[in-house]
A = this chain, B = another copy of it.
């Protein structure tokens, strides 16, 4: 049911500029219920937007998109698919970059990422690619056509995950963390 994998925290980033979701590297961060204080996506609640069309736009709802996590390997893969030299996690608004885990984007919801301090993040599943990061990528590669649309299409399945802070605590760049993978029993329930 559960399987542990060791990964490395390659970098930690915060969206702390007022006019953009683009993140900046920091050496460490304090995970609190709601996310990383000072980060654009911090909060136990958020306003419903294009990703939550089951609610009226602007409705206050619980925030399941507190933390954005990507893998170094999948960033390379997205770059390869887009035919560009590199994709920085900053451009994706990522908060944590992990290294050493295959197919992070496919991590089953209910899985956890646990850090040496005891801090833990609950995986809420794939972060579906949207145009905003694609537009940032376009700015970086002005000679490449249609990068925003191509990002939305080609980064599907490899753009990382979102999660909820389950256990507060400090995280540090270089931490060896543990991905606790949830494998659903998947047993059919016919009589």
Contact = CB atoms under 8 A, between A and B. Distances in A.
A189 B158 contact: yes
Contacts of A80: 191
B189 A53 contact: no
Q: What is the copy number of this chain in the assembly?
A: 2
Given A122-B62, A124-B110, A105 B184 contact: no
Nearest to A180: B54
A156 B1 CA distance: 13
Interface string A161-190: 000111100000000001010001111110
Interface residues of A, number: 47
A74 B189 contact: yes
A188 B77 contact: no
Interface of A: 2, 33, 44-45, 53-56, 59-62, 64, 74, 77, 80-81, 103, 105-106, 109-110, 112, 114, 118, 120, 122, 124-126, 128, 156-158, 164-167, 178, 180, 184-189, 191
A98 to B, nearest CB: 16
Contact of A55 (B44, B74, B77, B120): B120
A59 B184 contact: no
Contacts of A114: 54-55
Nearest to A105: B189
21 contacts: A2-B53, A33-B45, A33-B62, A54-B180, A55-B114, A59-B118, A61-B166, A61-B167, A62-B122, A62-B167, A64-B164, A74-B189, A77-B189, A80-B191, A103-B189, A125-B184, A157-B185, A157-B186, A157-B187, A157-B188, A157-B189
